[in-house]
């Protein structure tokens, strides 16, 4: 019996060693890209209005704390993150003092999740809303380094420290050319708050999101922090046409445009024999829209025949709708084969809510990638798995070895039982 237990323990240890050795190969270091560390600072409004209980039955402050805790747990290791507050300390009525009330709660740097969560837990809604001064300080907090820099501002009201207009502050930050992006989130915003936060985001090429629920807040802040860790790609402004014949010709890259409500936008891409076109589009509802909407992306021949399409729908709980498509053009044995012009059509079914301006159009982001097709080294079946292939192979090998060992152990136990 003791011999059997020792043998079983040895088999388990062997399997564990195999699993560890395959899952974490010697010398492997995750995500060592050599790029400068991205920096993010979360700027949180802790003014008195954050006591309001209108987000899923709880206070705005409680929703913000929950979102911060979830985001801190999920922050990528390579991101240097900091937290700054505004309106967290001064309780008096002196406007001059209230407009100085911004504090660095957690310094930008390698994240200690326990310390950061402890700091957030101490916050209580208190004073004024000095957004402009907080943005200036946050820009200083992120100064230095060559990595991406992003401010995520969360507020439930407009700035109370005019004439230091936070929109002007954002423009001044953008004019410095330091590559700092400000994204803004409005908690149950009114029209003035929405306009101000939208202006701040637009000034630096950031995004504005209106938030009504806790889940939305957590998801959106998490997306923005993750985005800071993505490789930097500078989008190119373009202007789509109303039909394919007039459409701009695009190469592989990231493009931005504006699309009116219910409008079509057309673009052209050249796809050679043996190549594959991969395209994706996102249309953002940066203002109040109807509760149901969708986005359609079609690849069409110059003669109007549809090749393939991608479509997605929204229900009023998302700030952007995205879809994509892939079109592999077969290789040809004809040496004189030429590239094919593929027309990309983007259509949206957004509708503006009553009293909402329809111009300028909705922000549109189009990604175009023309790569070697399935016959080349970019196999369609492997697209999107990336480094996941080694994990899949490791699991298959582990299962095979485990099956062999278990079968051998079972046969040995039967042999011992027959002997006894």
The per-residue pLDDT for range 343-360, each reduced to its tens digit, is: 999 998 888 777 777 778
Q: What does the block give as tokens for 14? A: 């062997």
Q: What percent of the chain has pLDDT over 90?
A: 36
Residue 155 pLDDT > 50: yes
Res. 301 pLDDT band, cuts 50 70 90 = very high
Taking the C-alpha atoms of residue 401 and residue 145, their distance in angstroms, rounded to an integer, is: 48
Pick the CATH number of 39-228 from 3.40.50.11540, 3.40.50.2300, 3.40.50.410, 3.40.50.720: 3.40.50.410
State the pLDDT at residue 417.
Answer: 67
HSE value, Cβ hemisphere, 13 Å, CA-based, for 42: 32
Of residues 318 and 330, more confidently modeled: 330
pTM, to two decimals: 0.55
Q: Which range (31-45, 88-102, 390-404) has the least confidence?
A: 390-404
Dihedral sign computed on CA atoms, order 128, 133, 138, 141: negative
Angle at 360 between CA 358 and CA 365, to 5 degrees: 110
DSSP-assigned beta bridge partners for residue 257: 364
Residue 85 pLDDT > 70: yes
Angle at 223 between CA 222 and CA 229, to 5 degrees: 95
Residue 82 pLDDT > 80: yes
Taking the C-alpha atoms of residue 364 and residue 348, their distance in angstroms, rounded to an integer, is: 10
State the pLDDT at residue 16.
Answer: 39
How many residues are listed for the chain in this entry? 420
Residue 135 pLDDT > 80: yes
State the pLDDT at residue 223.
Answer: 86
Residue 18 pLDDT > 60: no
Residue 5 pLDDT > 60: no
Smallest CA-to-CA distance from 43 within 137, 154, 142 is with: 154
Kindly list the distances between the CA atom of residue 64 and the CA atoms of 69, 154, 196, 213, 234, in Å, as whole numbers in the listed order. Answer: 9, 8, 20, 10, 31
Q: Average pLDDT in the 378-389 region?
A: 41
| DSSP summary character for residue 178 | S
Report residue 132: phi and psi, to 5°.
-55, -55
Residue 12 pLDDT > 50: no
Q: Helix, strand, coil: what percent of the chain each, to 5?
A: 35, 30, 35
State the pLDDT at residue 335.
Answer: 65
Residue 178 pLDDT > 50: yes
As annotated, the residues of the chain forming the CATH 3.40.50.410 domain(s) are 39-228
Of residues 231 and 67, more confidently modeled: 67
State the pLDDT at residue 373.
Answer: 60
Kindly list the distances between the CA atom of residue 69 and the CA atoms of 41, 119, 216, 218, in Å, as whole numbers in the listed order. Answer: 15, 11, 14, 9
State the pLDDT at residue 204.
Answer: 84
CA 98 to chain centre: 34
Residue 313 pLDDT > 50: yes
DSSP-assigned beta bridge partners for residue 369: 278
State the pLDDT at residue 387.
Answer: 45
State the pLDDT at residue 231.
Answer: 66
Q: Omega into 26 within 30° of 0, i.e. cis?
A: no
Residue 227 pLDDT > 90: no
Res. 166 pLDDT band, cuts 50 70 90 = very high
Res. 403 pLDDT band, cuts 50 70 90 = confident
State the pLDDT at residue 334.
Answer: 67
Helices (H), 53-125: 60-74, 95-98, 113-121
Smallest CA-to-CA distance from 274 within 383, 374, 379 is with: 374
Residue 23 pLDDT > 50: no
State the pLDDT at residue 107.
Answer: 96
Give tens-digit pLDDT for 41-81: 999 999 999 999 999 999 999 999 999 999 999 999 999 99
State the pLDDT at residue 11.
Answer: 41
E-assigned strands of 159-207? 180-187
State the pLDDT at residue 146.
Answer: 77
Q: Which range (96-100, 234-238, 386-390) has the least confidence?
A: 386-390
Smallest CA-to-CA distance from 368 within 242, 226, 236, 262 is with: 236
Of residues 193 and 390, more confidently modeled: 193
As annotated, the residues of the chain forming the CATH 2.60.120.380 domain(s) are 236-379
The fold of the 236-379 domain, in CATH, is Jelly Rolls (2.60.120)
Of residues 26 and 269, more confidently modeled: 269
Instruction: Give the chain's mean pLDDT.
Output: 80
Res. 93 pLDDT band, cuts 50 70 90 = confident
State the pLDDT at residue 232.
Answer: 59
Q: What does the block give as tokens for 326? A: 């892939």
Residue 8 pLDDT > 50: no
Smallest CA-to-CA distance from 129 within 152, 159, 169, 92 is with: 159
Report residue 154: phi and psi, to 5°.
-120, 120
Residue 102 pLDDT > 90: yes
Query: Order of strands across the sheet with 264-271?
Result: 249-250, 264-271, 340-348, 293-301, 306-314
Taking the C-alpha atoms of residue 393 and residue 70, their distance in angstroms, rounded to an integer, is: 32
């Amino acid at each position: 019996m003791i011999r059997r237990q020792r043998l079983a323990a040895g088999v388990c240890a062997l399997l564990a060693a195999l699993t560890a050795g395959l899952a974490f190969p010697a010398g492997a270091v995750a995500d060592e890209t050599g790029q400068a560390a991205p920096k993010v600072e979360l700027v949180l409004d802790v003014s008195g209005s954050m006591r309001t209980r209108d987000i899923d039955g709880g206070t705005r402050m409680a929703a913000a704390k929950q979102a911060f805790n979830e985001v801190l747990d999920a922050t990528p290791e390579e991101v240097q993150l900091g937290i700054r507050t505004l309106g967290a300390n001064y309780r008096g009525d002196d406007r001059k003092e209230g407009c100085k009330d911004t504090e660095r709660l957690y310094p930008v740097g390698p994240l200690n999740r326990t310390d950061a969560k402890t700091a957030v837990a101490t916050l209580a809604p208190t004073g004024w809303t000095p957004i402009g001064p907080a943005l200036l300080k946050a820009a200083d907090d992120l100064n230095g380094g060559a990595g991406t820099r992003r401010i995520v501002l969360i507020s439930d009201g407009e700035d109370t420290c005019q004439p230091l207009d936070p929109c002007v502050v954002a423009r001044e930050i953008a004019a410095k050319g330091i590559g700092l992006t400000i994204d803004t989130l409005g908690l149950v915003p009114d029209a003035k708050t929405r306009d101000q936060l939208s202006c701040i985001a637009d000034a630096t090429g950031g995004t504005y999101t209106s938030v009504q629920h806790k889940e939305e807040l957590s998801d959106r802040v998490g997306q923005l922090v993750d985005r800071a860790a993505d490789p930097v790609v500078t989008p190119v402004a373009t202007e789509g046409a109303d039909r394919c014949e007039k459409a701009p010709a695009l190469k592989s890259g990231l493009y931005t445009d504006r699309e009116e409500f219910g409008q079509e936008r057309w673009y052209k891409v050249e796809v050679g024999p043996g190549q594959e076109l991969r395209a994706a589009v996102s249309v953002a509802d940066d203002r109040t829209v109807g509760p149901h909407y969708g986005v359609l992306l079609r690849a069409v021949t110059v003669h109007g025949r549809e090749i393939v399409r991608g479509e997605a729908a929204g229900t009023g709980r998302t700030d952007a709708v995205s879809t994509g498509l892939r079109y592999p053009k077969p290789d040809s044995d004809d040496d004189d084969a030429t590239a094919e012009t593929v027309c990309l059509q983007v259509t949206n079914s957004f509708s503006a809510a009553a009293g909402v301006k329809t111009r300028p159009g909705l922000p549109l982001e189009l990604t175009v990638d023309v790569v070697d097709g399935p016959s080349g080294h970019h196999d369609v079946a492997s697209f999107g798995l990336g480094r996941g292939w080694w994990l899949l192979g490791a699991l298959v090998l582990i299962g095979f070895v485990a099956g062999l060992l278990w079968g051998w152990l079972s046969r040995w136990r039967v042999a011992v039982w027959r002997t006894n």
